[in-house]
Chains A and B, each alone.
Chain A
C-alpha cells in the first residue's frame, strides 16, 4: 500500500505539540494581561471640555486638593468643583483668556461644564471617599501624582483585585491623616510598624466581604 502522508509529516506531532504548548502559554499571558484593567484602563486620558491643568494648580500654585474637591472628607462622593469655584479666582485672573471661555460661558448661562469622568467605577460597586481619606489613604495612592498631570489620566486599574490588595494589607499603604493630600509623600523607615500600631489602636478593619461595596 502506498504511503498516504509524505515523510515530512513526521514533524507534525512535534510541531503540533510545540504549537499547542506555545499557543497555550501565549494565550494565557495575552488574556491575563491584555484583557485586564491594567492594560485596558490604566492611562485612560480623555479630552476635557476645558483644558484644566492639575500640574499648574496643584503642583505649581500648591493648592490643597480639598480647595476644589471639598466634600472628599465628608461624603462618599468626591465632588468635581462647580463653576463657582473656578470663578472665585478667574473673575479676577486671566479674565480675557480664550482658554477660559467655556468657564465664563457656563457662569453666564448657568449651565454646568460637561467634564469627562476618568475614574469610573460601575455603579454596583459603592465607594466612599470619606471613609478612606479619614483613615489615612492618601490621594496619591489611588490617583497617582495628580500634581504632575497636565491632563488627568487613570493611574491605577481600580479593579477589584487592586482594591482587595490594600484591604488585605492596609499597613503597606496607609499614611498619617495630615499627610493625606500630600503629593510625593515619602514613608518613614518603620512605617509598617507605625501603621500596624495605628490599625490596632484605631480598630481599622478594611472589609473584604461582598456587602462592603456591592451591598
Chain B
C-alpha cells in the first residue's frame, strides 16, 4: 500500500504542488542572492534589533524539526508503537526543516563567504573559533543534529528500500533502490544488528534533541539582555520545539493520509495521541510564559519588569497577544475528546499553533531587543520585503523537498508497521490474550518471505 505511492504514475496534483513549491524555493534563492549581493541591510534589522526575522525563522525551523526526532527516537525508547506509522514522514520533516533552518544562520551573517571561519580548521592565520559563544555551539549542534538525523532516517529506510527494490519492475529503479538498500536481505543477523543500531541511534538522538534546542536557546539565555537572560529557556525552548514540531506533523499528516489514502495506517488514534502531546507541551509552554512573568515581577529588577510590561502593552503587544492566544489558550481545546479527534479542528489548531510559535520567537527576539537598558537606543523593527520573501521561500524549499520525499521514498516505515501489526505477534495464535478474540482461525503466514519481518517484530516487542 505504501510502496504503491512511489510506483504509480505521478498524479497531476503532485506536479502542481511541486511547481508551486519549487517556484517558492526559487524565490528563496533570489532573495538570498539579492541579500548576499547587496548586504544584510536589505533586511529590516536595525541597530537595537540586529537579530530580526532570520534568527526568528532559524529558531522556528529548528523547532519544527525536533518533533521528527522526538517521534522516532524518544517514542522508540518508550516503546510507543503508534509512532511507527508517522515516524518516517516526521524524520523527513526534521531533515528538511533543519535544512531550511541552516539557511538562516548561514546567510544572516554579513559575509557569508568567510563562514568557514566558524569551523575549527588549522589554518594559515593560526586562528580558532571562540568556543565560548553559543553561536559556535549552534554550528556544532545543528550540523551534528542534521547528520545524526540523516543517518537515523537512512538506517530506518534500508529495509523499506529493499522492499521497493524487490517490487521494482524497471532496470533503473532496481539498480537505484538496490544501491541504496545496500544489499539488505532481511536475514536474522541483519535484523538483530539493525535493531541494536536503531536503538543506539535512538539513544544518541534523544539527548541530541534536548541539547540542540537548548543550545539554540543559549543564543538568547547566555546574553545579558532583560527578557533573554533567563535560566528557564533551555527546557522551555525544547518544549516549544516539540509543541510546534508536533503541530507541523499533524498538519502534514492530516493532508498526507487523506491524499494518499493512509487512513488505516495513520489512524485517528495516532492523531489523537499527537494532539495529546501537543496539549502537554503547549501547557508546559504556557507554564513557562507565566513563570517568566512571575519571575519578572518577583525579581524586582526594573529592566526585567519593564521588558515584560513592554511585551504585554508595548508597541508589539499585538504579537504578544497573538502568541498567548495561539500557544496558551488554543491547545487547551484538546482537553475535549471530541475536538481532539476531529480532523478539521486539529488541522486548524495545528496551523494556529505554528503561527503562535513563530510569534513566540518573534516576541522573544524582537521585543527584548527593541527596548533594553538605554532608552536612547530604543527602536522599532519593521521587516522588509526581502525578510518576507526569504521566509516564504524557506517554506518553498521545505515543501519542495517534502514533495520529493513523498514521491520517491516510502512515506511510512513499512518494516516497522509490519512489526507492530497483530500478525507479527508470536502470541497471535493464543486464545484469550486479547489479541485474537474475534477469530479462532490461525493466521496463515506466507512462510518464507516474512521471516525477517517477524523477527523484527519479535525483537522489537520482546526487549
Q: Does B193 contact A (CB under 8 A)?
A: no
Task: Considering the complex, give the chain A residue whose CB is closest to the CB of B178.
Answer: A4
Query: Cβ of B123 and Cβ of A161 under 8 Å apart?
Result: yes
Query: Cβ of A161 and Cβ of B125 under 8 Å apart?
Result: yes
Query: Cβ of B175 and Cβ of A160 under 8 Å apart?
Result: no
Query: Cβ of A5 and Cβ of B178 under 8 Å apart?
Result: yes
Once A and B bind, how many residue pairs between them come within 8 Å at the CB atom? 28
Task: Considering the complex, give the chain B residue whose CB is closest to the CB of A2.
Answer: B174
State the CA gap A36–B126 with chains docked (Å): 12
Query: Cβ of B124 and Cβ of A38 under 8 Å apart?
Result: yes
Q: Does B446 contact A (CB under 8 A)?
A: no
Chain A min CB distance to B114 (Å): 13
The number of residues on chain A lying at the interface, defined by a beta carbon within 8 Å of a beta carbon of chain B, is 14
For residue B126, which residues in chain A have a CB less than 8 angstroms away from its CB? 160-161, 164-165
Whether A160 contacts B174 in the complex (CB less than 8 A), given A1-B166, A4-B165, comes out as no
For residue A164, which residues in chain B have a CB less than 8 angstroms away from its CB? 126
Query: Cβ of A32 and Cβ of B122 under 8 Å apart?
Result: yes
Task: Considering the complex, give the chain B residue whose CB is closest to the CB of A164.
Answer: B126
Chain A min CB distance to B182 (Å): 9
Query: Cβ of B124 and Cβ of A160 under 8 Å apart?
Result: yes
State the CA gap A165–B179 with chains docked (Å): 50
Chain A min CB distance to B151 (Å): 16
Most-contacted residue by chain B among A4, A159, A165 (CB, 10 A): A4
Q: Does B224 contact A (CB under 8 A)?
A: no
Query: Cβ of A159 and Cβ of B124 under 8 Å apart?
Result: yes
For residue B122, which residues in chain A have a CB less than 8 angstroms away from its CB? 32
For residue B125, which residues in chain A have a CB less than 8 angstroms away from its CB? 159-161
Query: Cβ of A37 and Cβ of B124 under 8 Å apart?
Result: yes
> Which residues in window 26-41 of A have CB below 8 A to B?
32, 36-38
Q: Does A157 contact B (CB under 8 A)?
A: yes
The number of residues on chain B lying at the interface, defined by a beta carbon within 8 Å of a beta carbon of chain A, is 13
> Which residues in window 168-205 of B have CB below 8 A to A?
174-175, 178-179, 183
Q: Does B127 contact A (CB under 8 A)?
A: yes
Query: Cβ of A4 and Cβ of B174 under 8 Å apart?
Result: yes
State the CA gap A38–B175 with chains docked (Å): 46
State the CA gap A165–B236 with chains docked (Å): 46
Query: Cβ of B174 and Cβ of A161 under 8 Å apart?
Result: no
Task: Considering the complex, give the chain A residue whose CB is closest to the CB of B175.
Answer: A4
For residue B123, which residues in chain A have a CB less than 8 angstroms away from its CB? 36, 161
Query: Cβ of B124 and Cβ of A161 under 8 Å apart?
Result: yes
Chain A min CB distance to B209 (Å): 29
Chain B min CB distance to A3 (Å): 9
Most-contacted residue by chain A among B122, B125, B178 (CB, 10 A): B125
For residue B127, which residues in chain A have a CB less than 8 angstroms away from its CB? 160
For residue B175, which residues in chain A have a CB less than 8 angstroms away from its CB? 4-5
For residue B183, which residues in chain A have a CB less than 8 angstroms away from its CB? 5
State the CA gap A152–B179 with chains docked (Å): 57
State the CA gap A1–B174 with chains docked (Å): 12
For residue A32, which residues in chain B have a CB less than 8 angstroms away from its CB? 122
Chain A min CB distance to B411 (Å): 24
State the CA gap A51–B245 with chains docked (Å): 70
Task: Considering the complex, give the chain B residue whose CB is closest to the CB of A168.
Answer: B126
Chain A min CB distance to B156 (Å): 21
> Which residues in window 154-190 of A have CB below 8 A to B?
157, 159-162, 164-165
Binary interface encoding of chain B residues 202-228 relative to chain A, with 1 for a CB under 8 A from any of its CBs, else 0:
000000000000000000000000000
Task: Considering the complex, give the chain B residue whose CB is closest to the CB of A32.
Answer: B122
State the CA gap A161–B121 with chains docked (Å): 13
State the CA gap A159–B126 with chains docked (Å): 9
Can you pick out 24 interface pairs between chain A and chain B where the beta carbons lie within 8 Å of each other?
Answer: A1-B166, A4-B174, A4-B175, A4-B178, A5-B175, A5-B178, A5-B179, A5-B183, A32-B122, A36-B124, A37-B124, A38-B124, A157-B124, A159-B124, A159-B125, A160-B124, A160-B125, A160-B126, A160-B127, A161-B123, A161-B124, A161-B125, A161-B126, A164-B126
Given contacts A5-B179, A37-B124, 5 further A-B contacts (CB under 8 A): A159-B125, A161-B125, A162-B124, A164-B126, A165-B126
Task: Please list the residues of chain A having a beta carbon within 8 angstroms of any beta carbon in chain B.
Answer: 1, 4-5, 32, 36-38, 157, 159-162, 164-165
